[in-house]
Amino acid sequence: MKTSLKERKYVEMHISILESGDGGSITENIARGGIFMRDQEITELFWERKEQAVTESNIRYGAYCRRISYNILANEEDVEECMNDTWFRAWNSMPTERPGILQAFLGAITRNLSLDRYRKNHSKKRGEGEISYIYEEMQDCISGENMELHVENMELAEMINRFLAGMKTENRRIFVRRYWYFDSIAEIAKRFSISESKVKSSLMRSRESLRKCLAQEGIEV
């Protein structure tokens, strides 16, 4: 089963984020004293159809993927199901796919699966959890009725990548932690050793800049 267009788009966006130094998870894993199999070796295991590929992926990136999923779903049972689906989707995507950055590839799959499950769980009513607040925040940039449609648009992803590339490093990292990883305001403040008010101010300015950028490109806000 090949990776969908939506997943490819999220992988591309995620790769640009990681290359800019905002991913953070590899450094965090090393700091915990872990010794992991290299990405190329794990990918080869997938291509050789060896189940050890899933084990090694979970060892290296399981905590990273779980955090992405939990920030979206805020439910351990749903997260566990998304994690199982992540490994299944990765298994079915390789061979044919040979991701350049495995962390980006797995993170994108987890994020998409978690968002799909969130939409399914809350199709009639917004649920609790960080993502409900994030939806409200992003309505500053994209109208609520059109937001999910725009999010799945490749052209919009490219616009956002360009927008991220033009941001100051600190503002970009704050923006990415909030709207890619779905971190809470408190978590972002702690991560970067700044006040919560500074995080909120940075996000507000970034959303306004993004709104203007999208308006110039003809995206309805």
- pLDDT, tens digit, 9 for 90 and up, residues 104-160: 899 989 988 998 888 788 765 544 556 666 766 776 666 544 444 444 455 666 777
Q: Let me know the angle formed at the C-alpha of 113 by 23 and 137, rounded to the nearest 5 degrees.
A: 65
pTM passes above 0.85: no
The two counts, helices (H) then strands (E), for the chain are: 12, 0
Give the residues of the chain that fall short of pLDDT 70: 1-35, 123-133, 135-136, 139-157, 219-221
Listed by start position, the domains of the chain span: 1-124, 126-221
Q: How far apart are CA 26 and CA 189, in angstroms?
A: 20
Domain 126-221 has CATH 1.10.10.10: yes
Q: What is the pLDDT of residue 108?
A: 87
